[in-house]
Structure 1
């Protein structure tokens, strides 16, 4: 089993990936851990280094789950996956989840440092459907709709837009 999970920040990607990894004994890669300079969230590593680490992971393990909001990295890993999951609970759910996010020591030196970044994160998350970057709804939708393999979308309930 090789699963790619994408969606907005706060959509539940990490929770779902940890659940799958534990249930099926899969290796788990949070794309944030290879995208950012270690100890410097919001400072991106060179793209060639990130891609090299991604390819080393997906080629180096038989069974895995990879999760993140980086649609270009998800797209790069598509040829290696057995299933694509697009989690899209809607902007309000993502914002609520981010407000309650526990400390992520693999990303931040302290809970205080993480909390200091929350206003920036909330603004970024709120723009999911308006942005045009590789982490946007439009990019995720294009990747999902274009993928011909096994896929599943966890969409928002009726009336709750993305």
Structure 2
């Protein structure tokens, strides 16, 4: 299994990838781990890509999840399946509001809560952003990918998708 999950913040990428690694053991990488220095400063792209390439070479079976098209695009050729989680902005916002504390990202639940409204505003602008994190870039990356891919537009679809049921070309 070599899967990339792409989607907006709050789309369910982390939740789905964590579930899958319990069903079928695989290494899991959230691109948040390689995209930033401590805090909100983006690392140079080449450093992030070097870490991702090292992760891929060190693991036979893996799931990579994130919203970073600049990191995902150069490694697309390594994946067996690209899954675009696109449940809609309102679902993503609801997921962000219900998200438990993420100690890998924030030093406390309070710090996470202090950043919630900024995250909600950012998630809400998904359809209008032209940056690497926006729908336009995600759609272009997904549409151009010639390999096995699937777009999931309803969270009800997440329950039946699993690494043991590979994607089929549309």
**TM bucket by the smaller chain?**
over 0.9
- Measured in 2, the distance between the counterparts of 1:132 and 1:70 equals 12
Q: Tell me, yes or no, if structure 1 residue 106 matches structure 2 residue 101.
A: no
Q: Where do 5+ consecutive residues of structure 1 fail to align?
A: 158-162
Q: How much has 1:156 moved relative to structure 2?
A: 4.3
- Taking structure 2 as the reference length, the TM-score comes to 0.88
Q: 1:119 aligns to what? A: 117
- Taking structure 1 as the reference length, the TM-score comes to 0.92
Query: Root-mean-square deviation (CA), in Å?
Result: 1.1
Q: 1:33 aligns to what? A: 33
Check conservation: 1:58, 1:77, Cα contact below 8 A.
no
Choose between structure 1 and 2: higher strand proportion: 1
Q: 2:126 aligns to what? A: 128
Q: 2:74 aligns to what? A: 76
Q: 2:83 aligns to what? A: 85
Q: How much has 1:123 moved relative to structure 2?
A: 0.6
Q: Where do 5+ consecutive residues of structure 2 fail to align?
A: 156-170
- Measured in 2, the distance between the counterparts of 1:23 and 1:73 equals 26
Query: Matched residue of 2:41: which SS?
Result: strand
Query: Matched residue of 1:37: which SS?
Result: coil
What is the total number of aligned residue pairs between the two structures? 155
Q: 2:53 aligns to what? A: 55
- Measured in 2, the distance between the counterparts of 1:26 and 1:146 equals 26
